[in-house]
Chains A and B, each alone.
Chain A
Amino acid sequence: MKVEQISIFLENRAGRLEEVTRILAENEVSIRALSLADTSDFGILRLIVSDHEKAKKALKENGFTVGRTSVVAVEVDDHPGGLNQILQILSQGGVNVEYMYAFVQQSAKTAIIVFRFDKTDQAIELFGQKGIKVIPGDVLYNL
């Protein structure tokens, strides 16, 4: 039920992000979701892509430091309180969110939220109990 996310270390200087997207484009890898966390010196680009193996290999060959993390993607109804419901479940279950990012699907009826948890398996179990729809990796990669 987990989704593989790749993360890339970027120095904070002009052209680095463009270099990543250029390599992905050349290798015909599509970006499904992304988030960029930054400090004054460096940033971490987190991506969910159509083919994470291929993306990781191509980026590494071009000298980037690439990591891989298991994250959890859930589908939420796109209306007020949708996200709050999810976070309530997590806080009651004692699961901490390390980071998260969200995007709205083309249909615009639901949003997808990508979570990185301290206790990933426990979070998935909680979602299962509460009937929250967890999106498998294969579905997300091919959106």
Chain B
Amino acid sequence: MIYDVEMETLPREDLEALQLRRLKSLVERVHANVGFYRQKFDDMGVKPSDIRTLADLKLLPFTEKQDLRNHYPFGMFAVPKENVVRIHASSGTTGKSTVVGYTNRDVRNWARLMARCFVASGASPKDIIHNAYGYGLFTGGLGAHYGAEELGATIVPISGGGTKRQVMLMKDFGPTVLCSTPSYALVLYEAAQEAGIDIKDLPLKTGIFGAEPWTEEMRRDIEDKMGITALDIYGLSEIMGPGVGIECNIAQKGLHIMEDHFLVEIIDPETCEVLPPGEIGELVITTLTKEAQPLIRYRTRDITRLEQVPCRCGRTTARVHRMMGRSDDMLIIRGVNVFPSQIESILLETEGLAPHYLLVIKREANLDTLEVQVEVDEKLFSDEIKILQRIEGKIVKNIKDYLGVTAQVKLVEPRSIQRSEGKAKRILDLRKPN
């Protein structure tokens, strides 16, 4: 089913006409009301009237997270403060937190977009939605909450934490949809097991998972264990919150972007050039309809690929591949952009498992070399040399075929020590001084 049939199935031509109209109005608004943008436009010699086609978007400046920090807390607002009805903020783990404001209309639009997401996931007003996203300054909880109410479904605003109680309520209330981070879904599964409850026996049929990167392997794991369809949802607080894009339950392939509200581009994170559809790069989003805090060409740092092929679910909106990593992790090896997540998916495809790996980059005789160290675990291990060498060869070939980079693959013993520190270190770049 499709929630907003008109907007989600617009022919591309009509969609682009709508986007252009909204973009022109947006540029006028930020130029008139946001000092930061007026200054930037003036510095670059761009006037709102220069935007005549969607391609003129590239004339406009980028916005970075640091710009939001520099104008903390309310310096990026495009409306008077009294028109702002809600504030959200991201956790400031790497500096000051970033603040987002919403007008009444922003909040209503967000609810409608989240309702679209629920319907794309297969949900209807008959469903009970167990919302384990955190409520509060974080956008996840309230974002999903308002969307569920907009749809007319029943929302259980359980928020995060209290896992045992969550499991009990899942058993008693019989929710059909779970909203949480993918890792929390597995925590719930394990807690249910401990309590002697098999989630497969409950009415739960769909999981809408986001707010952290996850892999196809994790999806399969969750789907097998819980007997549900697991879907990826995307959003970020600076742009709005959850609901920027979601996978449909029909194709489960790529996240449909709500293009009537968000104009998306993929750029080369190094050169900032716009890349054609299909190429991997950084996702850049322009908020077409946001009133309180619109952003022009916001650099998400998320790495993905854009496809404009209509989906068999009927939606005509562009889809992005599940986020493959962060642009901060990008490596340039002999001029080719390589993301650790690409190597990870090749390893996953090659042997059907996601081994622990380390990418070692060196410069030998003025040439960059990439060594992929793959830990040999019991699933990969064989007592026959030729089988291990065949695996090495297959990985080398697949990296060459997919990425165009010649890598050396080295099988190594597991390194338990590095992993105990939490997040595994994936890159060792010996080209840099120090």
Contact = CB atoms under 8 A, between A and B. Distances in A.
A65 B383 contact: no
Contacts of B414: 63-65
Interface in A1-54: 5, 7, 9-11, 16, 37-39, 41-42, 44, 46
Interface in B398-434: 410-416
Contacts of B377: 65
B413 A67 contact: no
Contacts of B383: 5, 7, 44, 46, 67, 69, 116
B413 A98 contact: no
B385 interface: yes
Given A39-B389, A41-B411, A42-B411, A65 B376 contact: yes
Nearest to A64: B413
A11 B385 contact: no
A65 B385 contact: no
A47 to B, nearest CB: 10
Looking at A9, A41, A67, the one whose CB has the most chain B CB atoms below 10 A away is A9
A66 interface: yes
Looking at A16, A65, A98, the one whose CB has the most chain B CB atoms below 10 A away is A65
A103 interface: no
B410 A9 contact: no
Q: How large is the interface on B (under 10, 10 to 19, 20 to 34, 35 or more residues)?
A: 10 to 19
B18 interface: no
A11 B412 contact: yes
B15 interface: no
A10 B413 contact: yes
A63 B413 CA distance: 8
Contacts of B378: 65-67
A65 B381 contact: yes
Nearest to A62: B416
Given A65-B378, A66-B378, A67-B378, A37 B385 contact: yes
B408 to A, nearest CB: 9
Interface string B361-403: 0000000000000001110011111001100000000000000
B381 A39 contact: no
A10 B383 CA distance: 11
A1 B377 CA distance: 28
A13 to B, nearest CB: 9
Nearest to A16: B413
A63 B411 contact: no
A42 B389 CA distance: 10
B381 A98 contact: no
A132 to B, nearest CB: 23
Contacts of A37: 385
Q: How large is the interface on A (under 10, 10 to 19, 20 to 34, 35 or more residues)?
A: 20 to 34
- Chain A interface mostly: strand
B132 to A, nearest CB: 36
A63 to B, nearest CB: 5
Interface string A114-129: 0010000000000000
Looking at A38, A42, A98, the one whose CB has the most chain B CB atoms below 10 A away is A42
B385 A44 contact: yes
Nearest to B416: A63
A5 B412 CA distance: 22
A70 to B, nearest CB: 10
Given A5-B383, A9-B376, A65-B377, A41 B410 contact: yes
B384 A11 contact: no
Interface string A56-80: 0000000111110100000000000
B60 to A, nearest CB: 51
Contacts of B388: 42, 44
B259 to A, nearest CB: 48
B418 to A, nearest CB: 11
A15 to B, nearest CB: 12
Contact of B384 (A38, A41, A65, A99): A99
A66 B379 CA distance: 10
B380 to A, nearest CB: 8
A42 B409 CA distance: 12
B112 to A, nearest CB: 52
B110 to A, nearest CB: 49
A4 B385 CA distance: 19
A94 to B, nearest CB: 19
Nearest to A69: B383
A2 B31 CA distance: 80
Contacts of A64: 413-414
B372 to A, nearest CB: 12
B337 to A, nearest CB: 28
A11 to B, nearest CB: 5
Nearest to B412: A11
Contacts of A66: 378, 381
Contacts of B415: 63
A67 B381 CA distance: 7
A16 B384 CA distance: 19
Q: Which 9 pairs of residues, A with B, have the shortest CB-CB distance? A: A7-B383, A9-B376, A69-B383, A67-B381, A63-B416, A65-B381, A65-B376, A11-B413, A37-B385
Interface of B: 376-378, 381-385, 388-389, 410-416
12 contacts: A7-B381, A10-B413, A11-B413, A16-B413, A37-B385, A38-B385, A63-B414, A63-B416, A65-B377, A66-B378, A67-B382, A69-B383
